[in-house]
Amino acid sequence: EPEVTQTPSHQVTQMGQEVILRCVPISNHLYFYWYRQILGQKVEFLVSFYNNEISEKSEIFDDQFSVERPDGSNFTLKIRSTKLEDSAMYFCASCSGESGTDTQYFGPGTRLTVL
């Protein structure tokens, strides 16, 4: 069964450093998302991406964040200058976009630790 994959599974970085989290969505899906979950808290929406552009972003997704689909398979989240409060699990999700369904399937996540 097709799955969303994410790399790395765990990323440790120093405050102020740039990180890039990578995702490979399910191959025929058209909508892509990033969510984050701080330990013990809710899953929070960051950004959605469709047709090679951001379709929606949350207040969390400020100028320090960016997303890109550099080729036909990868979907990346970049944090330019990490802060301690960016430490969280980051989940990529994708949705087929087929009429009548808007189910999002999640990848296994990347645990980001900012020291």
Query: Of 17, 2, 5, whose CA–CA distance to 107 is shortest?
Result: 5
How many residues line the site for other proteins (CB under 8 A)?
23
Shortest distance in whole angstroms from residue 14 CB to other proteins: 23
SS3 for the chain, per residue? CCCCEEECCEEEECCCCCEEEEEECCCCCCEEEEEEECCCCCEEEEEEEECCEEEEECCCCCCCEEEECCCCCCEEEEECCCCHHHCEEEEEEEECCCCCCCCCEECCCEEEEEC
Residue from the set 91, 94, 112, 114 that interacts with other proteins by CB under 8 A: 91
Residue 84 as a binder of other proteins (CB under 8 A): the answer is: no
- Of residues 61-80, which lie at the interface with other proteins (CB under 8 A)? none
* Parallel/antiparallel/unpaired status of strands 105-106 and 110-114: unpaired
Between 16 and 106, name the residue whose CB sits nearer to other proteins: 106
Quick note: the x/- pattern for other proteins over 12-51, rule CB under 8 A, is -------------------x-x-------xxxxx--x-x-
Residue 58 as a binder of other proteins (CB under 8 A): the answer is: yes
Under the rule (CB under 8 A), what is the footprint of other proteins? 31, 33, 41-45, 48, 50, 55-56, 58, 89, 91, 101-109
